[in-house]
A and B are shown apart, each in its own frame.
Chain A
């Protein structure tokens, strides 16, 4: 994506250069540079500004990827970064956000643990003049920008893939939910339900929460597969957890007979390699580097726009990359955390 924009820019520049060259050709002697009127302001707007990041936890592919991507894009402009890691503790997260509001960074990038907890705090932050960007997990408060996956769409597309595969087979499917308290899980379930309403022939034999835990997912999938050996598909809610689901399918010798659809951040080991090995049949990736680039672009735009925080609000839902056998081999389908950190 980035490469394409660069290519286009280069093309325009080349055309511009060609026109300029022909026009300027006769007066080559007194050639002078032209000052681009906006770049100086832009640099000033970014220099020394602070971007604070509050994820639900660090140390997993999504948040590490966002953090690395943001730094890579913005640090060269003199943007300073601050990280508050609540390590899955919602209270600690709320405290981090509260203290950040009084420290007044220019931008806060927030990864919400649920819909409600931070909502009021984020509203207050924007009133205090801090731009708030919410990533992947939105809150009930709509802030300057939301960047992230559309969970309803993920649920619908995963469920559609499973339903299609089941056509003409047993029509028995299972749903492997994440944690009940997580909005991402509830939204995805809604998407799955949207599809199932249109397909009354599909029978859901199990719909259980595995707490984002691979071992629990494996246990549930094993039991379900023993009870329903003719199961034709499983809709999973996160590829990190569904490694367990897939292990159960493999042990039952049903790889290829049970369609496993899931979603995740598209990191190579967790997504492409699992699809290649046959563990997953479909892994919808909300490509983390693209999300980081979108956030960085929005931060640049907001900081240079002079818009009052909270005055404008918009969303940038991530375009999903369906990782299947067809594209899992292609280098650009997935990303490597180690490369992003370089």
Chain B
């Protein structure tokens, strides 16, 4: 068991180390502390989203509506402030919207027992459509004067570290605390490992599942705040992008099995670092867009193939729900 868990995480970490060493040797400006900070800053939002996804995946679910949670409630804050509401009221409304979104997801999955993939796919489209049709005038919601101070969340430096990295760090600490130090966290692992056993043991499985999706929506909203603050606008069109695949990539690459019950914050950090290193190195080398996709695909394939060699699937390790 310990070997298996070390397996994927170790492989990805090794891959990261090799890439890092290669780039450091080949690219003059790569291994500088300034560039390291840029690297981290560029993937901070992706990392925060990865944490939200990790909570759900550990509990044996998946949350495709995460990008809508990232785009719509923070976009609503910008829109409301633009329309003359106070920043505090806007933020409270956005958080309330996120919680409602999480509750609806959680209720449908835990009580109505609709598979998480379909539920969150639908609610994501619903919330994004709601934003487009009724909340926003245009799909890039611009910054306005009332947002003063809020940009600190995504811009500027504290003790030499860009704030998005600090936000990612804070989110890591909070999620680690929830998963490792609270009873709820232990329940999430138990449900992910074996939902039936967890229920038979007497765990409140349904409320815990609802909790997972509420947490995910709130963390997604937080990621949206950081994103909006860092680019001084909320491009709600991001919902149409392929960002959700990158989030899943971070989680799976980092070694959190889609079958649930395994992994943690460390895995998200490793997955994020690997993606960040690849993106940063290729940007420095000025690799073309198609070239970057090619490299991303190849690295993912190498990771998956190596994993299946090191951890061959058999009846013992394969679980129902494995993708």
Residues of chain A having any CB pair with chain B under 8 Å = 57, 59-61, 64, 87-88, 180, 205-209, 211-215, 218-220, 222-224, 226-227, 240, 243-244, 247, 250-251, 267, 269-270, 273, 337-338
- Establish whether residues A59 and B233, one from each chain, have CB atoms under 8 Å apart when the complex forms: no
Q: Residues 29-53 of chain B: 1 if any A CB is under 8 Å from the residue's CB, otherwise 0? A: 1001011001101100100000000
What is the distance, in angstroms, from B75's C-beta to the closest C-beta of chain A? 11
- Establish whether residues B140 and A60, one from each chain, have CB atoms under 8 Å apart when the complex forms: yes
CB-CB under 8 A for A64 and B138, given A213-B235, A215-B231, A243-B233: yes
- Establish whether residues A59 and B283, one from each chain, have CB atoms under 8 Å apart when the complex forms: no
A213 to B46, CA, bound (A): 14
- Establish whether residues A206 and B138, one from each chain, have CB atoms under 8 Å apart when the complex forms: no
- Establish whether residues A60 and B139, one from each chain, have CB atoms under 8 Å apart when the complex forms: yes
Report which of B230, B289, B290 forms a contact with A218, defined as CB distance below 8 A.
B230
CB-CB under 8 A for A215 and B230, given A209-B289, A337-B137: yes
- Establish whether residues B139 and A211, one from each chain, have CB atoms under 8 Å apart when the complex forms: no
Give the residues in chain A near B233, CB-CB below 8 Å. 214, 243
Q: Does B280 contact A (CB under 8 A)?
A: yes
Q: Does B306 contact A (CB under 8 A)?
A: no
- Establish whether residues A215 and B284, one from each chain, have CB atoms under 8 Å apart when the complex forms: no
Interface size class of B (residues with CB under 8 A): 35 or more
With both beta carbons as reference points, the residue of chain A lying nearest to B129 in the complex is identified as: A87
- Establish whether residues B227 and A226, one from each chain, have CB atoms under 8 Å apart when the complex forms: no
With both beta carbons as reference points, the residue of chain A lying nearest to B285 in the complex is identified as: A206
With both beta carbons as reference points, the residue of chain A lying nearest to B39 in the complex is identified as: A223
Q: List 11 A-B contacts (CB under 8 A).
A: A60-B140, A60-B237, A64-B137, A212-B237, A213-B238, A219-B283, A223-B283, A226-B29, A251-B162, A269-B144, A338-B137
Q: Residues 159-190 of chain B: 1 if any A CB is under 8 Å from the residue's CB, otherwise 0? A: 00010000000000000000000000000000
- Establish whether residues A206 and B283, one from each chain, have CB atoms under 8 Å apart when the complex forms: yes
A64 to B288, CA, bound (A): 33
Report which of A208, A227, A244 forms a contact with B35, defined as CB distance below 8 A.
A227
Residues of chain B having any CB pair with chain A under 8 Å = 29, 32, 34-35, 38-39, 41-42, 45, 132, 136-140, 142, 144, 155-156, 162, 227, 230-233, 235, 237-238, 240-241, 279-280, 283-284, 286, 288-290
CB-CB under 8 A for A224 and B235, given A240-B140, A247-B155: no
A211 to B138, CA, bound (A): 18
What is the distance, in angstroms, from B60's C-beta to the closest C-beta of chain A? 30
What is the distance, in angstroms, from B305's C-beta to the closest C-beta of chain A? 28
Closest 4 CB pairs of A and B: A219-B42, A269-B142, A209-B289, A214-B231
With both beta carbons as reference points, the residue of chain A lying nearest to B137 in the complex is identified as: A337
- Establish whether residues B34 and A59, one from each chain, have CB atoms under 8 Å apart when the complex forms: no
A338 to B142, CA, bound (A): 14
- Establish whether residues B138 and A59, one from each chain, have CB atoms under 8 Å apart when the complex forms: yes
A268 to B36, CA, bound (A): 36
Report which of B32, B137, B279, B284 forms a contact with A219, defined as CB distance below 8 A.
B279
Give the residues in chain B near A209, CB-CB below 8 Å. 288-289
A206 to B288, CA, bound (A): 10
- Establish whether residues A218 and B231, one from each chain, have CB atoms under 8 Å apart when the complex forms: yes
Give the residues in chain B near A59, CB-CB below 8 Å. 132, 136-139
- Establish whether residues A226 and B35, one from each chain, have CB atoms under 8 Å apart when the complex forms: yes
Give the residues in chain A near B280, CB-CB below 8 Å. 223
A243 to B288, CA, bound (A): 22
CB-CB under 8 A for A223 and B38, given A59-B139, A180-B290, A209-B289: yes
With both beta carbons as reference points, the residue of chain B lying nearest to A88 in the complex is identified as: B240
A222 to B38, CA, bound (A): 7
Give the residues in chain A near B29, CB-CB below 8 Å. 226-227
